[in-house]
Amino acid sequence: MQEIPVQKFRQILRNFERELNTQNQSGCCCGVSITQCHTLMALDQKDNITLNELAELVCLDKSTVSRTVDTLVKSGLIDRTIPESNRRTTLITLTQKGKEECHTINSGNNRYYRQVLAALPPDLLDPFLKGFEMLANAMSLQNDSTRS
């Protein structure tokens, strides 16, 4: 059996993490933290959800998401509402300002990653994306098994 190139993978991953961090710090999240950015992106995908649903979407504990939501409410990017039908539930939605922020974040990131992906040979783009998705899914499964 062939040796799995763990060391080479970790070296590539460290470089990838540095580049991703540089991209994140250079304004891809428009002045909000990475956690806030991921929260906004999750709400952009599925708006009007509970705190528990949001925590599950961003894979963070409820207390971290609650603090993040507090900050985003103060920034005017999201709203919290308590529906009359169930006073024990709080729904979280993007404000118009939040939707505009999401649009700005998405536009900037799309531009950046379009340029990055254009540097790959066209015939390798689809296999790369499939492999990258498989890697992300394998990592998620591994992380799920260690959380249990």
Nearest to 78 by CA among 86, 88, 90, 62: 90
Residue 85 is predicted with a pLDDT of 87
How is the chain split into domains, by residue range?
A: 9-118
> In one letter, which amino acid is 141?
L
Residue 143 is predicted with a pLDDT of 81
Residue 147 is predicted with a pLDDT of 67
What is the CATH architecture of 9-118? Answer: Orthogonal Bundle (1.10)
Phi, psi angles (nearest 5°) of residue 50: -80, 165
Nearest to 92 by CA among 40, 32, 29: 40
34: Cβ contacts below 8 Å, ≥ 6 apart: 24
Residue 30 is predicted with a pLDDT of 73
The segments of the chain whose pLDDT lies below 50 read none
Burial class (CB within 10 angstroms; exposed 0-12, middle 13-18, buried 19+) of 126: exposed
